[in-house]
Chain A
Amino acid sequence: MFRRNFLGLATAGLLALGLSGPATAQDDFIIVQSTTSTQNSGLFDYILPMFRDETGIDVRVVAVGTGQAIKNAENGDGDVLFVHAKASEEKFVAGGNGVSRSDVMYNDFVIVGPPADPAGVTGMSDVAAAMSKIAETESPFASRGDDSGTHKAELRLWKDAGIDVNAASGGWYRETGSGMGATLNTGTGMNAYIMTDRATWISFGNKGDYQIAIEGDEKMFNQYGIILVNAEKHPNVKTESAQQFVDWVLSDAGQEAIASYKVDGQQLFFPNAK
């Protein structure tokens, strides 16, 4: 009898635990595959409630690196893709995975560095020249190394400066293989220069005595795009709700919401939908 009680109790407990739980099971929700910069900066926490109030649609954000976000969306695990690597995004659409791509907003990348400034690059705005100096002095540089949007942009800038970072990998060039925040934590710990998007940097809570060393080069422009995942290829996509979200982000209301998001009085993202 005890045995039966025990089993019955365990089963009942299992059912209660598994099936009950808070009523989060809203039917009207979409999944947005996005990047850590938009999430960590708090932008989504700020604009998504506005969208929900207007439409009743709950937006669930999966924040990973751009590379992983695109892979997930290619598997059909998302209704909208909201990332920052234009070339990869266009490839995604060309491959039939997305309906079309639209510019949403931009900010810029900066390179932050330790106060000692071993490469002597603080205050420079010519990113190619500054990166060459970092390479020449073999000052530590922490790279994302994770195929994210920021990583791709960084590799483009190295190539532009004519530097082969693969040769230096493990030496002064250190790939953390992690997200932006983790790389900032690691990089500041080893006095390395780190490239980050400005939004993540402003809202980052563990800056220590680090400061922005290199900024202002137009090559460090960081464009975000939004793509509706193609239901013809991925039939589970909730096209109607997802389209509503895309339309809202690109609308005046959505663009104003993005522009009005500030951390420490600084605007993080600049809307530029056409």
Chain B
Amino acid sequence: MESFSAILIEAVELIVSWDPDVIEIIVLSLRVTLTAVAAACLIGFPLGAIVGAFRFPMRNGVIVAMNTLMGLPPVVVGLLVYLMLSASGPMGVLGLLYTPTAMIVAQTILVTPIVAALTRQVIEDLYNEYAEQFASLGVRPLDRVLALLWDARYSLLTVALAGFGRAVAEVGAVIIVGGNINHVTRVMTTTIALETSKGNLQLALALGLILLTIAVIVNGLLMAIRGTAARAAYV
């Protein structure tokens, strides 16, 4: 077993050498995960806001369902999407299995409940603050949702990051629906799994460090955006 400093050096070397294969894998990872998180936000934000801001029958049931789905095992999502997209499955004709699109679909399913459930909590807290004002001003339901979403936008950034963290780190779903095909569907996590199974533990860990670094950069960028936007808002 190599020492951790050796692993660190290997990780740095991997990045510095700008190996096109590694770059390709990093780019695909980001493309798949960011697309999935964006799609999950487009679905999850409005969904969570509606459940958070309105009272309707079976509402508690919906909340329990959303919270439960946060714990969906990636492998199970992978299997479900595989069965849907398989040539013998209902959507087989689309020919999407073993493509990045299939990976995006799987991660979207995985992340949407997280985004929706956390959004619901954020919006509900805010709604309790705003409820009287909304009532006295007679704000229409659609405007309520939009106002709540807009005012909660910084908290929702953290919600999106939680989704990103889940998606960028999972391997169970993408390896089943993507197939870990070299130059086509190989992403950071599936590469780490592959190198581990080849016994190249040092390389696997170095890739893990790179993945972590990317997550740090994405988080940092979003925090910077948040910081500038917040400053601008209070000028």
Residues of B within 8 A of A185 (CB): 196-197, 199, 201
Q: Which residue of chain A has its CB nearest to the CB of B153?
A: A6
- Among listed A14-22, A145-153, A167-175, A244-252, interface-contacting one: A14-22
Query: By the criterion CB–CB under 8 Å, are A10 and B180 in contact?
Result: no
Task: Determine if A267 is an interface residue (Cβ-Cβ < 8 Å).
Answer: no
Q: A180 within 8 Å of B by Cβ?
A: yes
Interface segment out of the listed A119-127, A201-209, A211-219: A201-209
Q: Are B196 and A45 in contact (CB under 8 A)?
A: no
Query: Which residues of B lie under 8 Å from residue A184 when comparing CB positions?
Result: 199
- Smallest CB separation, A234 vs chain B (Å): 6
Give the CA-CA distance A14 to B42 in the complex, in Å. Answer: 10
Contact B146 A3 (CB under 8 A): yes
A75 touches B86 (CB 8 A): yes
Q: How far is the CB of A183 from chain B (nearest CB, A)?
A: 9
- The size of the chain B interface, using a CB distance under 8 A, is 39
Q: How many A-B residue pairs have CB under 8 A?
A: 96
Q: Is the CB of A45 within 8 A of B183?
A: no
Q: Choose from A180, A203, A206, A236 the contact partner of B95 (Cβ within 8 Å).
A: A236
Q: Answer whether A14 and B198 are a contact pair too, CB < 8 Å, given A77-B97, A234-B87.
A: no
Whether B98 contacts A14 by the Cβ 8 Å rule is no
Of the listed residues A2, A77, A180, A234, the one surrounded by the most CB atoms of chain B closer than 10 A to its CB is: A77
Of A58-66, A80-88, A135-143, the segment with at least 4 beta carbons within 8 Å of chain B is: A58-66
A36 near B: Cβ within 8 Å?
A: yes
Q: A40 at the A/B interface (Cβ < 8 Å)?
A: yes
With A60-B98, A77-B87 in contact, do A10 and B42 touch (Cβ < 8 Å)? yes
**In the complex the two chains form, is B98's CB within 8 Å of A203's CB?**
no
Whether, in the assembled complex, B133 has its beta carbon less than 8 Å from a beta carbon of chain A, the answer is no
The answer to whether A236 and B181 touch across the interface, beta carbons within 8 angstroms, is no
A181 within 8 Å of B (CB atoms): yes
| B59 interface contact, C-beta 8 A | no
- Asked if A254 lies at the interface with its beta carbon under 8 angstroms from chain B, I say no
**Contact, CB under 8 Å: B196 / A182:** yes
| B88: Cβ under 8 A from any A Cβ | yes
Q: Which residues of B contact A67 (CB under 8 A)?
A: none
Contact with B along A7-34 (1 / 0, CB 8 A): 0001101100110011010000001000
The answer to whether B180 and A63 touch across the interface, beta carbons within 8 angstroms, is: yes
Map CB proximity to B onto A174-200 as digits: 1 under 8 Å, 0 otherwise: 000001111011000000000000000
Q: Which residues from chain A sit less than 8 Å from chain B, CB to CB?
A: 2-3, 6, 10-11, 13-14, 17-18, 21-22, 24, 31, 36, 39-40, 45, 60-63, 72, 75-77, 179-182, 184-185, 203-207, 234, 236
Query: What would 10 more interface pairs be, CB under 8 Å, given A60-B179, A204-B199?
Result: A10-B41, A22-B24, A60-B98, A60-B181, A60-B182, A63-B180, A75-B89, A181-B196, A205-B200, A236-B95
